[in-house]
Chain A
Amino acid sequence: MTCFRDKEKPEEVRQTNIEAAKAVADAVRTSLGPRGLDKMITAPDGNVTISNDGATILDKMSVLHPAAKMLVELSHAQDVEAGDGTTSVVVLAGSLLSAAQRLLRLGIHSTIISESFQNAAAAAVNVLKNMSINVDLNDRATLIKSAITSLSSKVVAQYSNLFAPIAVEAVLRAKSSLNVDLKNIRIVKKVGGTVEDTELVNGLVLNQGVRHLGSIPTKVEKAKVGLIQFCLSAPKTDIDNQVLVSDYAAMDRVFQEERLYILNLCKQIKKSGCNVLLVQKSILRDAVNDLSLHILSKMKVMVITDIERDEVEFICKTLGCKPVANPSSFTSDKLGSAELVEEIAGGSFTKFSDVPNPGNTCSILMRASNKLVLEEAERSLHDALCVIRCLVKENALIAGGGAPEIQISVELRDKAQSMIGMDGYCFQAFAEAMEIIPLTLAENAGLNPISVVTELRNRHHKGEINAGINVKKGTVKNITEDNVLQPLLVSTCAVNLAAETVCSILKIDDVVDEFFVVLIRFLFNRLLF
């Protein structure tokens, strides 16, 4: 019975795995590089994503084969580790797998291949380190250059002059010692306006507008910001308890008391000098009511409600305020400050600018004319942020445009000549596989890949280690002169991760189908009924 076939022969398994994984690489190949094209993905619910970010494409495109899934995870790993080069790492892995396939056909055992590939990867990382250029974190211009390189392949490439400085500025602000927590960079997306309106806010951007009621101010200068976690509304009785009114005079008192209660709360707030009030969302009762808003508007206090609980930490860190849970402890030392708080774009969000001491945080306000562009812009900016973060982690840059891959290829090929045994073959294959990156770059740019790659080989052989493809101009030249630079970490990470994934795919020699599990479960169910 064919359906009970749950095992395949090891070679077959390996072949199908390799084929499936290569297919993933082929799928994203066309979106590599600055001239890469986009993929459009329609999700089951009809949402459309247009992207050329490898990690995003693979994430959205739910692949079936387990080996293909490994490549998807590889791209994820690269995203987490370096944040950029998610497409190249998959393309590289695909190319290494084809190389491995050829070696397997020669009869070399898979463990030997994987061992040699690991060695080759280590050697490649050495090559990369040798050709890297150290960078000073204070040298903004260089940082911006590398951010531009990362942005150049994206939809928003034309705005890279805007995004790159934003990314550099944001990361440097959020930097702490040797790492950067990207959580400290808050990205607020809003449809409307154009991408050019995107800005880095020295402070905070909140996703909601000011509560409009009466004449609550929508713009406050020299703001003192308070964040409260209690409610500005009349207290409610418990379900079991009730307030009893048996006298008509008492009715007046009830209303009077409510007014006084809220008035007191508001006065307390005003007394501390607060003129911008953030109110955390409350589910138990109304966080504010008409009366409290009315009074606060009379006191000229700006009110912003519906602050999410998980936003509180970031807000406090940025504005330097402390959340207040009890009205009595609302004092002036709990307040944060900002030079200017104003509502923008007809109440869709609020901007706190020129915060005197914004901790290690900052906010980026992204605008774009439609949702698709906005989301793609955010992903691109994320990549740029990651690139700068890589530089903070490891202060070294390397040439882009396929130069490092060709250099690895040239050096490893030389090395292979001097080796004896199977390793030599494997190194040779590894070296050849690396050429996929410049090859694809040239192909996507509409250039002749063969002539470009051979010219690159030639130049590198002559010792021009930084010769790469300038995709925009369609020429081969010293790529560092054109400021095409990327962090060393992205390249080393890509080589290491790709090699590791390839090795683990090679080591798989058996796949057990889930069929048995399902059948047993079914029979068990039959027994129960």
Chain B
Amino acid sequence: MQQGSILAVEGERESGDAVRKNNITAVMSIANTVKTSLGPEGLDKMLVDELGDVTITNDGATILKLLEVEHPAAKVLVELAELQDQEIGDGTTSVVILAAELLKNASELVKCKIHPTTIISGYRLACQEACKYINEHLSLPVEELGRECLVNAAVTSMHSKIIADDALFFADMAVEAVLSVKRTNSKDQVKYPVSAINVLKSHGKRAKDSLLVKGYALNCTIASEAMPHVVKDAKIACIDFNLQKQKMAFGVQVLVNEPEELEKIRQREIEMTTEKLKLIVSSGANVLLTTKGIDDLYLKYLNKEGIMAVRRCTKEDLKRIARITGAELLSSLADLDGNEKFDAHMLGHAEEVAQEWVGDNQLILIKGSKAHPSSSIILRGANDFMCDEMERSVHDALCVVKRVLESGMISPGGGAVEAGVSVYLEKLASRLESRNQLAVAEFARSLTVIPKTLAVNAAKDAIDLLAKLRAFHHLSQTDNSKLHLKWTGLDLAAGVTRDNVEAGVLEPTIGKVKCFKFATEAAISILRIDEHVRLQPENKKDPHSYQEAYRTGQLVYRILFSHHISPGLVDVCGVVMNYNEASPNALDSQKDDFVKTLSAQKHLRLMALSLSASVPLLLEGPMGCGKTSLVASLARATGNYPQLLKIHLCEQTDVKALLGTYVCTDVPGQFRWQPGVLTQAVLAGQWLLVEDISMAPMDVLSILSTLLERRELHISERGEVLKASNGFQLFATQSTQTGLRFQQETTFLDNLWTKIYIPPIVGEEVAEILKERHPKLAPFVGKLMLVYQEFCCFTKSTENSRTYHARDFFKWCSRIEQFAHDGAVDTTCVSFSLVKEFTYVEALDVFCAAIPDRSYRRRISNRLGELLELLPHRIEYFLDIYKPQVEVYGKNFTFDIGLYVSL
């Protein structure tokens, strides 16, 4: 049962500072990802998704959307960025950075024992004051500045984007486009729906060749080349039904007695739609747009009538076209009398509808629509990535212009607002008497992150610039005659401060205010969390629980089978498997020195389970974690060891080595087929262990893929397809770097393997294995491990060292034991000190001998000596003077050098 007052839940609990720290770390990592893309000099990110699609962007919202964020707190932040994107369409990066900075500074306060609730109320207060201050002091009405300010705001938003060079050009375009879709809604509010601006992309030409079309650009082509390409004074019919042969509804069957009847019915089917078309044509329509298809049959008719028809337009497009031209989008021609009718008033009107070439594509342009004005932007760029990024940038600019127009207020950019508010809040904080003071001051400090990051990204001296900026703002707030200084912001190109209103670096005020509000809200909602309960997925129950053991069958076999298991079966860690009696030497299996530690048992059980299903197995794990030994042990246990074939793959591995090749025989000119390892294993039904599968070249992998998928081996040289015999089993190993769960680069075979992850062998299990294998070393295990661990720590801290694994340690130990075995020293009764020097020599051989860099080798050899508590002069001796003993004996001049290891 539970101990103390720890609440047991099906999962993990984390509370207090731990969870806060965790959340803040997660948030910070998100913010750090986007930090470098803030501002005009911000850099881009290239994101590759799992399908291999590439996105290059510096738009915060896009980056975050494409990142697969898992941490819940980080998700809050991503949602926040999306929200800012929806509401404002710009400033997504700054909102994330600001929120993260607020949290970071809050965590500093929490460390100083200030209760989170105090910080929260302080932040709320600061945010309110900041917004008030911006609205009252740091904003300008648009009317004062006119159209130029709209252009400037758009330019500011595009400064950081890919199209910064042509910002003015695009800004003009954006302003024009937004102004053209102005409309007034039922509540007499003037709205500029950005969605009504159609943005099309077409790669080719330069960015500067992008154009704004007064009218609607439709990304479709006319249905037939024989139709007119240009129609002046167009009367447009928009329909939402199929112009195909009329089919009877489901449940209506056509049954005819006479063959002529059949023809008549076919004829009628065709005519019914023709009649509909005639209705439309007779109303005077000369352009026909439909969301569905048009049969070739009717295209002919339309051609004859000289009507321009476009099929498969999207419904969204047609709805807009219907709106701007005043047409009615019809889903049926039925009228209220039960007949079909098409009136002229259902037609829309435009001055011209024309199909034009834009780059490689043809577009339908509807110009001079009668009911409402409209505009489309066609973006041109060198490649698709560029076009995509341009679209996002233009979208941001459009949103900015819309916000400026709708809210009517603008503020200077370039960190001016943040610096101003920061200075103001700091003054406010010093006037507060409550504990809120600290939180407000932190809020003020957090705001400086924006100008700071801007400067850092532009490779300018952030500290210097920030100091200047703050000085100016302080002056403007204290000295009334210097009021104009409040517009001071950063000029990131030149690395100086300047009046950003004059320079035309402008942003919509509402964007800034919302950015502050959203960032504060997010920071608060993350700060409020003081406990995180992670419930375990239901299928992942505790592996040691009774229910789980019962479910996996482990328990059953333990209780009932271990006694009366038949000789043909064997119990591998709780899974009953066939024992391969047929294999040669099956019964006198070699001595298995594999030590079944608890985790090894777990892995063996997993492997045995997958083996019973004869699926191919891939063992993943860092070097030296015992992947090969596990397979060997399993093979021994099931009597397959004598037949276990092993092959190491490397980049140079040839398919021939695996499949086989023709070799010369003694008779000149005669060739014999020499099967390779893989072929042998497949034919004989043996076990095959392929090591380092990740190193294999493509052609080897492709051979393996058919084997994995269908248990078939294709030998192209002989044109043979071999079926794998019963008992054939494929294992593979793959090394991952220590600390990484899975290797990043994955091969296409990945899905075909059943993967088992083998973690590195750790502490106690190392000792357990050692004691089992080398009982003589048992008294020293503790000491040896200590030395080894210290040594690992030491080498890890130095540069250019290789990492050492448990395998090296085992090698060392086995050499020590070997040496003890030879009887040189009786390890059981003498003190460790006598063995030390021999141990040191072995350690030098195992750990240091392979290091090419002399000085470095010397360094770590010295350290090793220190760890083994050798006297300095003895270390010197072993490094410089000591030579291994050479013994020559016998007639054949057999000689041993150093320690002779019998294998």
Contact = CB atoms under 8 A, between A and B. Distances in A.
Interface in B330-383: 330-332, 334-339
* A-B residue pairs, 8 tightest by C-beta: A446-B115, A23-B7, A37-B530, A248-B268, A48-B72, A35-B117, A294-B332, A237-B251
Interface in A289-333: 290-291, 293-295, 298-299
23 contacts: A19-B5, A20-B1, A20-B2, A23-B6, A27-B531, A35-B117, A37-B117, A38-B525, A39-B533, A40-B23, A40-B532, A44-B536, A63-B8, A244-B254, A245-B255, A245-B265, A246-B261, A247-B261, A254-B248, A254-B249, A294-B331, A373-B525, A444-B117
Interface string A146-161: 0000000001001000
B252 A243 contact: yes
Given A251-B268, A446-B117, A155 B525 contact: yes
Nearest to B19: A40
B546 interface: yes
Contacts of B46: none
Interface string B213-254: 000000000000000000000000000110000101111111
A522 B9 CA distance: 27
Contacts of B261: 246-248
A372 interface: yes
A37 B528 contact: yes
A68 B831 CA distance: 56
Given A234-B249, A246-B254, A294-B330, 20 more contacts: A22-B5, A26-B7, A38-B531, A39-B529, A40-B531, A44-B538, A60-B535, A213-B331, A248-B265, A251-B246, A251-B268, A254-B252, A255-B272, A295-B334, A295-B336, A370-B79, A370-B80, A372-B76, A445-B115, A445-B117
A281 interface: no
B123 to A, nearest CB: 12
Interface in B755-791: none
B534 interface: yes
B334 A263 contact: yes
B186 interface: yes
B124 A158 contact: yes
A233 to B, nearest CB: 10
Contacts of A68: 7-8
Contact of B73 (A40, A241, A522): A40
B528 A41 contact: no
B305 interface: no
B712 interface: no
Interface string A16-40: 1001101110110011000101111
Contacts of B76: 370, 372
Contact of B533 (A41, A45, A259, A515): A41
A260 B256 contact: no
Given A27-B7, A48-B72, A62-B9, A243 B2 contact: no
Interface in B865-895: none
B531 to A, nearest CB: 4
A449 B115 CA distance: 14
Interface string A54-68: 000000111111001
B264 A248 contact: yes
B660 interface: no
Contacts of A45: 537
A50 B525 contact: yes
Nearest to B249: A234
Given A251-B265, A263-B336, A38 B2 contact: no
B549 to A, nearest CB: 10
B2 A19 contact: yes
Interface residues of A, number: 77
A44 B531 CA distance: 17
A518 interface: yes
Contacts of B75: 48
Contact of B535 (A3, A38, A43, A155): A43
A256 B338 contact: yes
Contacts of B115: 35, 445-446
Contacts of A251: 246, 248, 254, 265, 268-269, 272
Interface in B1-56: 1-2, 4-11, 13, 15, 19, 23
B208 to A, nearest CB: 35
A89 B338 CA distance: 68
B592 to A, nearest CB: 30
A140 B551 CA distance: 60
Contacts of B9: 61-64
Contact of B338 (A23, A260, A293, A299): A260
B267 interface: yes
Interface of A: 3, 16, 19-20, 22-24, 26-27, 30-31, 35, 37-45, 48, 50, 52, 60-65, 68, 155, 158, 213-215, 219, 234, 236-237, 241-249, 251-252, 254-256, 258-260, 263, 267, 290-291, 293-295, 298-299, 369-370, 372-373, 444-446, 515, 518, 522, 526
Interface in B259-303: 261, 264-265, 267-269, 272
B900 interface: no
B51 to A, nearest CB: 22
Contacts of A155: 525, 528
B328 interface: yes
Most buried by B among A30, A64, A260, A299: A64
B257 interface: yes
Contacts of B339: 259
Contacts of A294: 330-332, 334
B8 A244 contact: no
A35 B528 CA distance: 9
A339 B252 CA distance: 44
A260 B547 CA distance: 66
B118 interface: yes
B338 A259 contact: yes
A241 B253 CA distance: 10
Nearest to B538: A44
Nearest to B330: A214
B79 A65 contact: no
Nearest to A515: B546
A452 to B, nearest CB: 14
A23 B337 CA distance: 74
B598 interface: no
B114 to A, nearest CB: 8
A40 B72 contact: yes
B550 interface: yes
B644 interface: no
Contact of B1 (A65, A245, A263): A65
Contacts of B15: 30
B116 interface: yes
Contacts of B493: none
A40 to B, nearest CB: 5
A294 B240 CA distance: 11
B556 interface: yes
B524 to A, nearest CB: 9
A41 B249 contact: no
Contact of B241 (A23, A40, A290, A299): A290
Most buried by B among A31, A40, A219, A267: A40
A107 B9 CA distance: 32
Given A518-B550, A522-B556, A298 B336 contact: yes
Contact of A242 (B4, B252, B533): B252
Contact of A64 (B10, B114, B272, B528): B10
A39 B534 CA distance: 11
A215 B328 contact: yes
B560 interface: yes
Contacts of B19: 40
Nearest to B12: A42
A293 B241 CA distance: 13
Contact of A246 (B87, B255, B529): B255
B331 A290 contact: yes
B559 to A, nearest CB: 9
Contacts of A444: 117
